[in-house]
Amino acid sequence: MHRALTHFRLGPMNLLIAISLFVFFSSIWLVFLPKVCLFWNGVLAFGIRVLPLRADLGLAQHHLTPFIRFDIPYLRMESVLPSSQTWSLTCAATLALFAATFLLSGRLIPLMYLLRGILLVPMTALLYFAILPARFPHTPDSYMESLVTAGIALISTVPLLFGLTYYIFDFGLLKKALLTAITMTHLALFLPLQVLLQALFLQKTVLFMPVLYIIFGMPINILIIIAFYSWGMSWFFRPPVEV
């Protein structure tokens, strides 16, 4: 019988393991967070040196407790409004992609509407910068800092998310710990690369900021968590004799 049709009861051992893993990984993350921020600082500094990036490193001081203090690294760069040429080229590319969605076959209707929904974001940004470009309230500095801060918050929630949705199933302690460690490590390695890649576009103009934030910001990181969770859910439960 497929697992989707089976009846699962949450046993006391699974509940105890779920709580224990949540406390363990949350504690480890908080202890190592200052060191992770130092690692990110090194990656961002290296990226500035080797990439065609006009940016400086900034540090935002944070503290959770009197004993846990850390400096969040982020990139500081000049806020550049879109020129008429940049606006026109971006508008032409957006309209061309929107028109291309009408050429998709009927079997790709879900993809068609997904692409149209995504293209609404740059269309809205183009309209805003065509009418009120000088009133754009966000700067690359604040955006980069909030991107790193949101990434830290999301990684911090992984033990809780898995505790509520994965640890309760009888996969065994090793699989639960392994999936959590892989997911949190992947997100920690992915975040500075995401920041550098977005900075390469953002240094051209803030016109791309809404697309970077809404489409290629935290939604990508959330999809990574969902992908790892789906992979973990494809594993086999422990045999009944081992429960």
pLDDT, one tens digit per residue, over 127-147 is: 999 998 878 888 899 999 999
Dihedrals φ, ψ of 48, to 5°? -65, -35
Alpha helices of the chain — where are they, by DSSP H? Answer: 12-50, 84-100, 109-131, 140-165, 173-202, 209-214, 218-233
User: What predicted TM-score, i.e. pTM, was given to this entire model?
Assistant: 0.86
Please state, in angstroms and rounded to a whole number, the distance separating the CA atoms of residues 52 and 78: 14
Burial of 195 (0-12, 13-18, 19+ CB in 10 A): buried
DSSP summary character for residue 134: G
Q: Do residues 183 and 228 lie in contact, with contact meaning Cβ atoms separated by under 8 Å?
A: yes
pLDDT of residue 234: 87
Q: What is the pLDDT of residues 64-83, one digit of tens each?
A: 666 677 889 999 998 889 98
The answer, yes or no, to whether residue 176 has pLDDT greater than 50, is: yes
Band of the pLDDT at 170, cuts 50, 70, 90?
Answer: confident
Q: Residue 243 has what pLDDT? A: 38
pLDDT digits (tens, 9 = 90+) for 179-196: 999 999 999 999 999 999
Q: Is the pLDDT of residue 104 over 50?
A: yes
Helices 218-233 and 140-165 pack at an angle, to 10 degrees, of 20
